[in-house]
Amino acid sequence: MPGLEIDGLRVSIGGRDVVRAVDLHIAPGSCAGLVGESGSGKSLLALASVGLLPRAARVTAGRIILGGDVTVTADLDRTAKVRGSGIAMIFQSPRTALNPLLRVGHQVGRVLRRNGQHADLTRRCAELLGAVGILEPGKVARLYPHELSGGMCQRVMIAMGIACEPQMLIADEPTTALDVTVQADILDLLDDIRSRTRMGMLLISHDMSVVAERCDSISVMWRGAIVEAGTSRTVIGSPRHPFTAELVRDVAHRPQPKDRPAQRSPAGPADGPPTEARG
Amino acid sequence: MRPLIEVRGLRKDYRRGGAVLHAVDGIDLALMPGEAVGVIGESGAGKSTLARLITRLERPTSGGVFYQDTDVTSLSDRALRRFRREVQPVFQDPLTALNPRWVVRRLITEPLKIYGERDAERRVDEVLRDVGLGKDLMTRHPRDLSGGERQRVAIARALVLRPSMLVLDEPTASVDMATKRTLLALLNRLQSEHGLTCLYISHDIRTIEETCSRTIVMYRGRLAEEGPTTAILSSPSHVYTQILMSSIPRIDSAETRPGRLRARPFSRQHLPDTGCLFAHSCPRVQPECATDPPVVEVTPGHRAACVLAGRASDHSGVTPS
Amino acid sequence: MDLTDDGRTRGRPDDAGPAGGPGRSARLRSELKRHPSLVAGGALAAATMIVAVAGHLAPPHNPLAINPGHSLAPPGPGHWFGTDQFGRDVFSRVLYGLGLDVVIGLIVAALAFAVGSMAGLVSGYLGGWIDDIVMRVADLLMSFPSFLLALSIAVVLGNTVRNVIIAVTIAYVPYLLRLTRGSVLAARGADYVLGARAVGASRSRVMTLHILPNVVGPAMVQATLMLGWAILDVSGLSFLGVGIQPPSPELGVQVAQGASYITSGQWWISVFPGAAIILAVLAINFLGDYADDKLRGQGS
């Protein structure tokens, strides 16, 4: 089956399972969403797919298959070879994910060179920066990350990600640190790239509304395991797992319109006593 | 009814390199007692600066801050003692906003000590119960608490002197989504129980929506739009607000979302200094935008600083369910 | 092992005992395991201190007693470190001199700490023109290598113990000033300082309760290290003939006095005092490392 297939993957750190028997499939050209709280293991799952697990973590079971080739199993890690042209990843904090000492054009060029493409670097880097919506790409290529806004840094990171036309792109909270209008622009850009190149995408977020808006399918992760998965419509419309329901409630909840100033008397909106459950 | 607190023509400039940055550029705002008002905007809007100016942690470059008709704009820290009791900030990140070396008890008791309040212990117990924290937390440090607990400690500390007003700068930014709901519910309850006047500052429309009856949209230091929260959400008049509202990810929009209104890309070298500050990026920019836009009253209580306000026929807004 | 702000240690099972007895030795053992610098420095420093105090109070022989009949005797049973050209017992002189140097070093470090941190606190917190002036003076002083600066000042002031202390202190003050001021500036910008002002804390309250505790730590570590450097600088100055003069058994003086005898084979007159200087500074550096470790470990 083409695309990215994660099959029964298990990752553990120090003997403790942090990713438990996860099954996930991303078809070429589609966008799959992975949603869960921090600590649910979603980032580790992503890192396992590109072979960037921290040293303390190990794949203990299952396999990852990209375009029909097995790339990751408990004993095998061929991901180094497929990184770049097979599967690419972009991260949350664009400014810290870029090397502060190198010009951004240079960093894009490095990706190309590392994947054996040495020809015509300056022009191709400028082209890539233009393709991600950066104005005056030739000029911007000569700037350092600290001279760019957060949104522009993220665009640079996307340029580095798509430089070698990967089959799959994993985006781990790509817009969490950005303003909401920039967030929408970046997600539009990713959608655009997907439709042009048939690249598949895994969009990871803690925000159900982001995932609901952009993804064809949603998998909900909780404490290392996938507790619910399905098309966006079914997962949002009729969540079966209580955690999914709560995630949906977190973003769909629309309170009573508060058009009147609160009265001094205790007869205020009936929110009830605060629950201790989630701190 | 007179406003509890008012700012007029508030300006704050910072010198950055050789240039001057107008962080807050002429803001007029009045809060009535008991009201909850939200300030929304993206980074660079000047919201946090506004918070610091209103709580007089910084002095404005020009303009005035008036608390119950008293001019507190230029008062020294000592003269502001009474004001400080009444208007309390709650900061974004309790890890940096609370002295990390102090335990919870000391953090909450400090304001009482400063103002020489007696019976401090009873008051501390009272306020802890009010925010829903147990007494077992008293001996712990902020770093040993969960994000939600930490922020409750910050709120308790702000409430311990029984202020009339809270200024909350991104109160839910450092907690996860589930805790956010609980915290906002707590704040709503506290606001109505104590008749607090609240100013919520946030980039997150959901926070404002859940707590504020009136909302102000800021852009690059200036007021873009002001009105009832529901109106801002469902029928934004300023083009910037329209873009903002249509950019918010919506869970119900997958099939029904209209085409998103987008800002024009721009280069940071050419930000306008005069006229409408959004003109460089506005998809509906008009020739008249080169001059300062008029403040149009779209409906009573709802005004926008945009030449197109009241004229626009499509509402790329968000419908509250 | 962190001490909480109100002096209690964080609860752990072995702290349950009311007298804290068993808990304390277990904690000490784990502390020693985790910080080898504490072991090395602690042992060395303890030995040095004991020796220095004992040597000062009850030296085996009078450090100043001249005994021409026994001059230039190599190390042996009666005189463990031998005797010098005047027949004085080197061992006693080294012990006595060690005590002397350590005391002088302590005075210098304490003075530099007091003056430097006070100036840094005031300058950092008040800012404005006070800060500008203080910083320019500090810059001026720091533009000279500290040893040369101390040397020049000592030469100008005259050759007494007091003047040497003054000279070295002046050379060290700017560093502590800079350090303290830096900590103050960092603490001033912290949100919790803003928060303290917001609840009505006065300037002095903010300074003492919020800023000072963050400042004292690094300054103390620095002062500890300065103790070591002070010993080196003071003995270095004496070696050059500036400041402390013979017949004082200060270690630098001893090294100088024995220098001309090395080539003729009487090495013990210089080497033992020199080794004492090295050991003392080493011990202090280890302790400074440990203090630094604790400081970094404890920060949030």
pLDDT, position B320: 44
Q: How far apart are CA A107 and CA A110, in angstroms?
A: 5
Instruction: Tell me how far CA of residue B121 lies from CA of A205, B90, B156, C6, in angstroms.
Output: 43, 22, 13, 17
Question: ipTM of the assembly?
Answer: 0.84
What are B127's two structure tokens? Answer: 């306020």
pLDDT, position B272: 81
pLDDT, position B40: 94
DSSP bridge partners of B90: B168
Nearest to A135 among B206, B250, B267 (CB): B267
Domain boundaries, chain B: 5-218, 236-249+259-315
Q: How far apart are CA B239 and CA B219, in angstroms?
A: 11
B162, B170, B191, B192: which to substitute to probe chain A, counting the most A Cβ within 10 Å? B192
How far, in whole angstroms, is CA A46 from its chain's centroid? Answer: 8
Q: Per-residue confidence at A277, pLDDT binned at 50, 70, 90?
A: very low
pLDDT, position C4: 31
Alpha helices in chain B (DSSP H): 47-54, 81-86, 94-97, 104-114, 120-131, 147-159, 177-194, 205-211, 229-234, 239-247, 253-256
pLDDT, position A262: 41
Which one-letter amino acid corresponds to residue C12? R
B153 to chain C: which residues are within 8 Å by CB?
A: none
Average pLDDT, chain A: 84
Percent of chain A residues topping a pLDDT of 90? 39
DSSP one-letter string for C69-99: GGTTPPS-SS-TT-B-TT--BHHHHHHHHHH
pLDDT at A84 over 70: no
Chain C residue with minimal CA distance to B112?
C199
Question: How much is the average pLDDT of B32-60?
Answer: 92
Give yes or no for A264 touching B (CB within 8 A). Answer: yes
Contact assignment for C201 to B78 by CB distance below 8 Å: no
Q: How far apart are CA C235 and CA C102, in angstroms?
A: 11
Question: How much is the average pLDDT of B277-288?
Answer: 88
Residue among C57, C60, C46, C62 nearest C249 (CA): C62
pLDDT at B87 over 70: yes
Find out whether A84 and A111 touch, Cβ atoms under 8 Å.
yes
pLDDT, position B125: 93
Q: How far apart are CA C58 and CA C62, in angstroms?
A: 9
Average pLDDT, chain B: 88
Strand ranges (E), chain C? none
Query: CB-based burial of residue C117 (10 Å sphere; 0-12 exposed, 13-18 middle, 19+ buried)?
Result: buried
C300 to chain B: which residues are within 8 Å by CB?
A: 95, 100-101, 141, 143
pLDDT at A223 over 60: yes
Subunits with 3+ Cβ pairs within 8 Å of B are A, C
Find out whether B276 and B306 touch, Cβ atoms under 8 Å.
yes
Q: How far apart are CA A264 and CA B4, in angstroms?
A: 14
Residue appearing with tokens 């004492």: C276
Q: Print burial letters for B208-230: b (CB count within 10 Å at least 16), e (below 16).
A: bbbbbbbbbbbbbbbbbbbbbbb
Nearest to A250 among B178, B192, B320 (CB): B178
- Non-local (6+) Cβ contacts of A237 within 8 A are none
Contact assignment for B228 to A210 by CB distance below 8 Å: no
Instruction: Pick B5-218's CATH classification: 1.10.3370.10, 3.20.20.80, 3.40.50.300, 3.40.50.720.
Output: 3.40.50.300
Q: How far apart are CA A132 and CA A187, in angstroms?
A: 11
Of A53-67, A220-234, C81-95, give the range with the top mean pLDDT: A220-234
Q: Per-residue confidence at B266, pLDDT binned at 50, 70, 90?
A: confident
Contact assignment for B114 to C195 by CB distance below 8 Å: no
List of chain C residues with pLDDT < 70: 1-24, 31-38, 40-41, 297-300
- Non-local (6+) Cβ contacts of C220 within 8 A are C113, C291
First and final C-alpha spacing in chain C: 14
First and final C-alpha spacing in chain A: 44
Give yes or no for A263 touching B (CB within 8 A). Answer: yes
Q: Is the peptide bond before C247 cis (omega within 30 degrees of 0)?
A: yes
* Maximum C-alpha span of chain B: 65
Q: At B231, is the secondary structure helix, strand, or coil?
A: helix
Find out whether A150 and A182 touch, Cβ atoms under 8 Å.
yes
Closest-CA distance of chain B to residue A132, Å: 12
Q: How far apart are CA C165 and CA A54, in angstroms?
A: 54
Contact assignment for C203 to B77 by CB distance below 8 Å: yes
DSSP bridge partners of C234: none
Q: How far apart are CA A222 and CA A41, in angstroms?
A: 8
Q: From edge to edge, which strands make up the β-sheet containing A217-222?
A: A87-90, A168-172, A200-205, A31-35, A217-222, A225-231
Q: How far apart are CA C125 and CA B52, in angstroms?
A: 20
Give yes or no for A192 touching B (CB within 8 A). Answer: no
Q: How far apart are CA A33 and CA A202, in angstroms?
A: 6
Residue among C182, C213, C204, C229 nearest C295 (CA): C213
Find out whether A132 and A138 touch, Cβ atoms under 8 Å.
no
Q: How far apart are CA A190 and CA A93, in angstroms?
A: 17
pLDDT at B321 over 50: no
What are B35's two structure tokens? Answer: 């009201």
Q: How far apart are CA C258 and CA C269, in angstroms?
A: 5
Q: Per-residue confidence at A1, pLDDT binned at 50, 70, 90?
A: low
Nearest to B195 among A264, A277, A278 (CB): A264
| Torsion angle of C-alpha atoms A153, A158, A163, A166, degrees rounded to 10 | 160
pLDDT, position B254: 52
Find out whether A148 and A141 touch, Cβ atoms under 8 Å.
no
Q: In this predicted model, what pLDDT tens digit does every residue of B177-190 receive, in sequence order? A: 888 889 999 999 99
Q: In this predicted model, what pLDDT tens digit does every residue of B209-226 receive, in sequence order? A: 999 999 999 999 999 999
| Torsion angle of C-alpha atoms A231, A237, A242, A244, degrees rounded to 10 | 50
Q: How far apart are CA A162 and CA C290, in angstroms?
A: 49
Q: How far apart are CA C197 and CA C54, in angstroms?
A: 52
- Non-local (6+) Cβ contacts of A55 within 8 A are none
Q: Pick the more confident residue, B254 or A101.
A: A101
Q: At C195, is the secondary structure helix, strand, or coil?
A: helix
Question: How much is the average pLDDT of A142-150?
Answer: 90
Scan residues 57-76 of B and list those with Cβ closer than 8 Å to C.
57
Question: How much is the average pLDDT of A223-248?
Answer: 91
What are C33's two structure tokens? Answer: 């395991």
Strand ranges (E), A74-132? 87-90
Scan residues 124-163 of B and list those with Cβ closer than 8 Å to C.
139, 141, 143, 157, 161
Q: How far apart are CA C154 and CA C160, in angstroms?
A: 8
Domains, chain A, ranges and CATH? 4-86+167-251 (3.40.50.300), 102-163 (no CATH)
Residue appearing with tokens 């991104």: B170
- Non-local (6+) Cβ contacts of B206 within 8 A are A251, B180
Contact assignment for C200 to B98 by CB distance below 8 Å: no
Give yes or no for A95 touching B (CB within 8 A). Answer: no
Chain C residue with minimal CA distance to B143?
C300
Residue among B143, B146, B168 nearest B157 (CA): B168
Chain C residue with minimal CA distance to B155?
C195
Contact assignment for A273 to B132 by CB distance below 8 Å: yes
Chain C residue with minimal CA distance to B108?
C199
Q: In this predicted model, what pLDDT tens digit does every residue of B142-157 receive, in sequence order? A: 999 998 999 999 999 9
Query: CB-based burial of residue A265 (10 Å sphere; 0-12 exposed, 13-18 middle, 19+ buried)?
Result: exposed
DSSP bridge partners of A65: A5, A70
Q: At what angle do helices B239-247 and A180-197 cross, to 10 degrees?
A: 60
Query: CB-based burial of residue B258 (10 Å sphere; 0-12 exposed, 13-18 middle, 19+ buried)?
Result: exposed
Q: At what angle do helices C36-57 and C21-34 cross, to 10 degrees?
A: 110
Find out whether C154 and C242 touch, Cβ atoms under 8 Å.
yes
DSSP bridge partners of A83: A87
Q: How far apart are CA B120 and CA B108, in angstroms?
A: 10
Closest-CA distance of chain C to residue B248, Å: 30
Q: Positive or negative, the Cα torsion across A212, A218, A221, A227?
A: positive
pLDDT, position C264: 85
Q: Per-residue confidence at A128, pLDDT binned at 50, 70, 90?
A: very high
For C34-298, CATH number?
1.10.3720.10
